[in-house]
Structure formats: C-alpha cells, structure tokens
Amino acid sequence: MKIRTTFVIETAVPLTHYLPKTEAEKITKCDNCALEIKNIWKLNNASAYPLVISAEGVVTENLLKHLENTGLTENILRVWRGAVHVRTCHTVRKVLVHPLDLTDRVKFIPLSEPNPTDGLE
C-alpha cells in the first residue's frame, strides 16, 4: 500500500506588529484545510504549515521548524526575505512618488466657534 501524504502551505506577509496574530490565524486555517483535504483525497496524512514573514523580514521562531518539516531549505528563506524586501520597497516608492492627494476628493469645512445663543430662542 502506497502512503499518500501532502502538505498545506499557507503564506502571509503582515506587518511585524501583527506577526504572532497572523501566524495563529494561519495555523487554525491550515489545520482545518489539511483535515478537509485528507478526508476528500483519502490521504494517510495531511500536514499544515504556515510560513509567515513580516513586511520588514522578521520571522517567528516556528518558521525554521516549518521549513524543515516541509523539506524546504533555509535558502528559500533568504530568497523569500529578499522578495518581501523588494515588494516593500516598491510599495514605499509608489507612495512617495504618487502620494495621495486628498484635496481633490475631500471638501474641508472649517470648524467655527459655537454660538452661545444657539438654541435659546
């Protein structure tokens, strides 16, 4: 009998502040997805691994363990971190070159001092 197994790999690139929360959400999502895939495809094993790296290149302690379990090398982390940095730089450059100009779309109304006689008449 052939052993049928698969990996569910979910990636995310949140801000560093949201890294632990995002990883926890991905673990829950991946585990549910892996269980469904195991049942639908009648597999012996389906494992879920979230690979989460922040937009600044920060990783959690679990990432290297997940890479090892999936058979991916640490070299993929260097490539992935480089791709994240390039994309972050692209986003920052786009904002700096074409900043949002809200003056065309927003009407600013000056605040006036409240009139003490309002509502007394």
pTM of model > 0.75 = no
Taking every pair of C-alpha atoms in the chain, what is the biggest distance, in angstroms?
A: 91
Contact criterion met (CB below 8 Å) for 19 and 26: no
For 33, the token pair is 């997805």
Distance CA 70, CA 96 (A): 39
- Give the model confidence (pLDDT) of 13-29 as tens digits: 999 999 999 999 999 88
Predicted local confidence at residue 63, as pLDDT: 87
Contact criterion met (CB below 8 Å) for 45 and 84: no
Predicted local confidence at residue 114, as pLDDT: 56
Q: Which of 45, 50, 47, 58 is nearest to 19 (CA)?
A: 58
Q: Identify the segments of the chain with pLDDT beneath 50.
A: none
Distance CA 78, CA 81 (A): 5
- Give the model confidence (pLDDT) of 73-85 as tens digits: 878 888 888 888 8
Distance CA 91, CA 55 (A): 11
